[in-house]
Chain A
Amino acid sequence: MRPLLQVESIAKFYGARIGCIDVSFDLYPGEVMGIVGESGSGKSTLLNCLAGHLTPDHGAVRFDTRAEGLRDTITMSEPERRMLGRTDWAFVHQHARDGLRMNVSAGGNVGERLMAVNARHYGDIRAEAIDWLGRVEITEDRIDDRPTAFSGGMQQRLQIARNLVTGPRLVFMDEPTGGLDVSVQARLLDLLRGLVREMNLSAIIVTHDLAVVRLLADRLMVMKDGHVIETGLTDQVLDDPQHAYTQLLVSSVLQV
């Protein structure tokens, strides 16, 4: 099987400081990869390099495009990369307000990506928006409300709907459940897990919450100080951590 995303020795420096270094992995269709580590371990830097928000100083990120197969997204032209960004890729921000237009209605937020790929029929766009709001458990009568009138959990679900409406194949998530209380987190995770299975999405999830990766991720990558220190199947890494830092991380989780 051909990998959907092929990452080859990515490195990003901030001056003399290391953002992340020597990261390589393959991601296959339908696979969910978790990246965990403490604050400052380089996991967000890595995610931004993969999603094209940052330009890595070294390495290659090859994506299996629909038209031409594997292509390096770092060397492709900006219009092509931005086109990927609004069709085959999705990016779920930690703070919903970074990923939403707060002064545009929920329906407009979901419809934007459709209109960006030249949907020009209002009725169709609206029907699609209603369908997607339903899938993320936002009722139809909230379609004309602005995200400012939504709770944090609803905003996050709206952001997910907005991202998935164009049927992406790869989703980048940066702490998707950060800042939400636990019952809302649980529902969001349930929803995400359902969508990932249903749409056969590949995803890369950055988080510091081990419970999130336990629930969502097939594979796990542990980062510290910009380096990948351990990789493996999620259950394997969490149940039998090999590296001293991973052992510390796993044993630091509060037991209720």
Chain B
Amino acid sequence: MSDYNFAYLDEQTKRMIRRAILKGLAIPGYQVPFASREMPMPYGWGTGGVQVSAAVLTPDDTFKVIDQGADDTTNAVSIRRFFQKTAGVAVTEATAEASVIQTRHRIPEQDLRADQILVYQVPIPEPLRFLEPSEVETRKMHALEEYGLMHVKLYEDISQHGDIATAYAYPVKVEGRYVMDPSPIPKFDNPKLEMAGIQIFGAGREQRIYAIPPYTQVVSLDFDDYPFQPTKADHACDLCGAEESYLDELIMNDAGGRMFMCSDTDYCATRRKQGHVGAQGVPYKEAAT
């Protein structure tokens, strides 16, 4: 523990990242360039999120990491252990107890409070990237608020699939100004982007940080005759019976057996502890999840 500076990064680096975060919060949705550092993990594993977490963590914080909503996947466990080792902070799996939550691809089901920070891992921060490969040009388009191209993507979706088929990384407009990629969260989570907590997005490989301050207006882009619709599997959780949560589908056997369950493991476990039982679930027992 004493071999590392608190939270791995040196103090000057953390100051640099905090400046980028403050600028990002001051200009909601704007991608702030920052000098991304090499981290002891490969790009694409959350180096941006880890650097943002390192910059915002204090010794008093309680840290939670989720990957696709789950606390117990390899990536989530590794990052949680990383900060346990290098920062010595308390860790938790309970959404309500955490003060900093690093996430990949989900927003927790439970509403966040004003004293919580949500840190996203972002693979590609530029929503216009696949339509306009030139970064020089996309920056100009952001600066001049020329966002017609974003709708070309949605148009293509409708013309090919009969509906807006973009199901994740669904583009949003923040506070009526910047079009932003909300990281690859399902579009089911888009309405939750207007929340009480602070949201910070870190893209390590792409060297960009952006942020949404609390209670900022976030509008999902759409057409007048094809309005935005958050979607989820039309099912209830088979473990806890929740009908409002985002579900993972699990193939159980070769006979077509399948199971839907909450992707947010903490939300599901909490409900089961409260006595909710889904169609294929069993009553919750300690240490037998």
A-to-B contact residues, CB < 8 Å: 78-79, 82, 86, 101, 104-105, 107-108, 111-113, 115-118, 120-123, 125-126, 143-144
Complex Cα spacing A121 to B131, Å:
20
Complex Cα spacing A113 to B149, Å:
9
State whether A111 touches B155 (Cβ < 8 A): yes
Give the one of B149, B152, B156, B223 with max A CB within 10 A.
B152
Complex Cα spacing A125 to B155, Å:
9
B-to-A contact residues, CB < 8 Å: 131, 144, 146, 148-149, 151-152, 155-156, 158-160, 223-226
Give B223 Cβ to nearest chain A Cβ, in Å: 4
State whether B226 touches A122 (Cβ < 8 A): yes
Give A98 Cβ to nearest chain B Cβ, in Å: 14
Complex Cα spacing A59 to B163, Å:
50
State whether A116 touches B149 (Cβ < 8 A): yes
State whether B224 touches A101 (Cβ < 8 A): no
Residue from B131, B148, B158, B159 in contact with A116 in the complex, judged by beta carbons closer than 8 Å? B148
State whether B159 touches A115 (Cβ < 8 A): no
Known: A121-B224, A121-B225. A113 touches B158 (CB 8 A): no
Residue from A78, A111, A115, A122 in contact with B144 in the complex, judged by beta carbons closer than 8 Å? A78
The residue of chain A having its C-beta at the shortest distance from the C-beta of B158 within the complex is A122
State whether A120 touches B149 (Cβ < 8 A): no
A143: chain B residues within 8 A (beta carbon): 159
Additional 4 contacts, C-beta under 8 A, given A112-B148, A117-B148: A105-B160, A107-B159, A121-B223, A123-B225
Complex Cα spacing A111 to B151, Å:
9
B156: chain A residues within 8 A (beta carbon): 104-105, 108
Complex Cα spacing A29 to B131, Å:
35
What are the 6 closest A-B residue pairs judged by CB atoms, nearest first? A116-B148, A115-B148, A115-B151, A122-B223, A121-B224, A79-B144
CB < 8 Å A-B pair total: 53
Give B177 Cβ to nearest chain A Cβ, in Å: 14
Known: A101-B131, A116-B149. A108 touches B155 (CB 8 A): yes
Give A27 Cβ to nearest chain B Cβ, in Å: 27
State whether B155 touches A107 (Cβ < 8 A): yes
Give the one of A78, A118, A120 with max B CB within 10 A.
A120
A107: chain B residues within 8 A (beta carbon): 155, 159
The residue of chain B having its C-beta at the shortest distance from the C-beta of A111 within the complex is B155
A125: chain B residues within 8 A (beta carbon): 155
State whether B146 touches A120 (Cβ < 8 A): no
Complex Cα spacing A231 to B131, Å:
42
A120: chain B residues within 8 A (beta carbon): 151, 223-224
Give A120 Cβ to nearest chain B Cβ, in Å: 5
State whether B160 touches A122 (Cβ < 8 A): no
A101: chain B residues within 8 A (beta carbon): 131, 152
The residue of chain A having its C-beta at the shortest distance from the C-beta of B150 within the complex is A115
State whether A111 touches B225 (Cβ < 8 A): no
Complex Cα spacing A82 to B148, Å:
13
State whether A82 touches B224 (Cβ < 8 A): no
State whether A122 touches B149 (Cβ < 8 A): no
A104: chain B residues within 8 A (beta carbon): 131, 152, 156
A112: chain B residues within 8 A (beta carbon): 148-149, 152
30 contacts between A and B (CB under 8 A): A79-B144, A82-B144, A82-B146, A104-B131, A105-B160, A107-B155, A108-B159, A111-B155, A112-B148, A112-B149, A112-B152, A113-B148, A115-B151, A115-B152, A115-B155, A116-B149, A120-B151, A120-B223, A121-B223, A121-B224, A121-B225, A122-B155, A122-B158, A122-B223, A122-B224, A122-B225, A125-B155, A126-B159, A143-B159, A144-B159
The residue of chain B having its C-beta at the shortest distance from the C-beta of A144 within the complex is B159
The residue of chain A having its C-beta at the shortest distance from the C-beta of B223 within the complex is A122
B160: chain A residues within 8 A (beta carbon): 105, 144
Complex Cα spacing A82 to B131, Å:
18
The residue of chain A having its C-beta at the shortest distance from the C-beta of B164 within the complex is A122
Complex Cα spacing A123 to B144, Å:
27
Give the one of A82, A104, A118 with max B CB within 10 A.
A104
Complex Cα spacing A123 to B162, Å:
12
Give the one of A107, A108, A116, A126 with max B CB within 10 A.
A108
Give A44 Cβ to nearest chain B Cβ, in Å: 21
B151: chain A residues within 8 A (beta carbon): 115, 120
Give A163 Cβ to nearest chain B Cβ, in Å: 14
Give B82 Cβ to nearest chain A Cβ, in Å: 39
Give B141 Cβ to nearest chain A Cβ, in Å: 9
